[in-house]
Chains A and B, each alone.
Chain A
Amino acid sequence: MIWLAYALGAMALQGLVIFIVKAFSFRLSPLLVLLFQYIGSILLLSLYLKHKKINLHLDKLCVKKVFASGFLVSTGLSLYYLALGLAEASKVATIQSVGVTVLPVLFAFLILKEKVTKRLFAGLVFAVMCILFLTI
């Protein structure tokens, strides 16, 4: 059950980060908060990579994928932070969490034609209810 301790720690810290972003967004631009947050993250991560001597070598295919991933995550988070600056954090954070859980399932169902189990279907129904209650 050690995984649970790590997952709970990650959950609490991530929730705290989004709460602090909302607090900062009352006075600061959410995009500048994200920019400096990235600077802080890369500083700490660089130290960790150096300490663990993690290999940073990329092949050609990986370079393209990493570039695309960097674009998607930074644009996605920029929009998320802008939304946090415009509406209540309790609504935005909930819809974001539900959305990033649901959309990959929808991708798998619509594009990859994967089967949807009863449990997944129930989850999708609850997700739609959640979004309706928080947005309408």
Chain B
Amino acid sequence: MLWVLYITLAIFFLSSNILLVKTLVRKISPFAVLFYQYLIAIPLVFIYSLMTGSKADLNVLWSIPLGFIYVVAIALFYIGLKKGNLSKVSPVFNMNLLVTSLLSIVFFAEQFNLKIILGLVFGVVSVYLIGGAKK
């Protein structure tokens, strides 16, 4: 269950970051924020990789185009935010859990039972209710 500890800490860090980014984008471009985040992230993740003894091979270079897709996704999200309300755009974006889950179930033959289906349904409803609520 080590993954539960990792994901709990990840949620705490990523949620804290959202609060910080909200204050930053009032002063500077969201794309500049992303640029500086990546600039700081690269040496940090390199250090984390060394600490965990990660071994590289040439196949890891395939992750570079993955970075292109990732940054396009974030850019589309920001443009969506510019053209619509946060309370509408954010829940739609957070539904990416459905895409990942469906692809994983189809291609990796991941477990797919009533418990997982209920978990997914509760997750989607929760994101819709909280993300779409007027604050």
Contact = CB atoms under 8 A, between A and B. Distances in A.
Interface string A57-99: 1110010011111111111111110110011111111111111
A18 B32 contact: no
Interface string B99-124: 11101110110111001101110110
Contacts of B72: 13, 44
- What class of interface size applies to chain B in its complex with A? 35 or more
Chain A contact-residue range equals 35 or more
Nearest to A129: B122
A33 B10 CA distance: 17
Contact of B129 (A29, A33, A91, A126): A126
Contact of B130 (A19, A59, A83, A124): A124
Interface of B: 2-4, 6-21, 23-24, 27-29, 31-42, 44-46, 48-49, 52, 54-57, 59-77, 79-81, 83-85, 88-101, 103-105, 107-108, 110-112, 115-116, 118-120, 122-123, 125-131, 133, 135
Given A15-B99, A69-B20, 16 more contacts: A3-B83, A36-B66, A36-B67, A39-B42, A54-B32, A62-B27, A74-B40, A75-B13, A76-B10, A76-B17, A82-B52, A93-B100, A100-B11, A126-B129, A127-B122, A133-B118
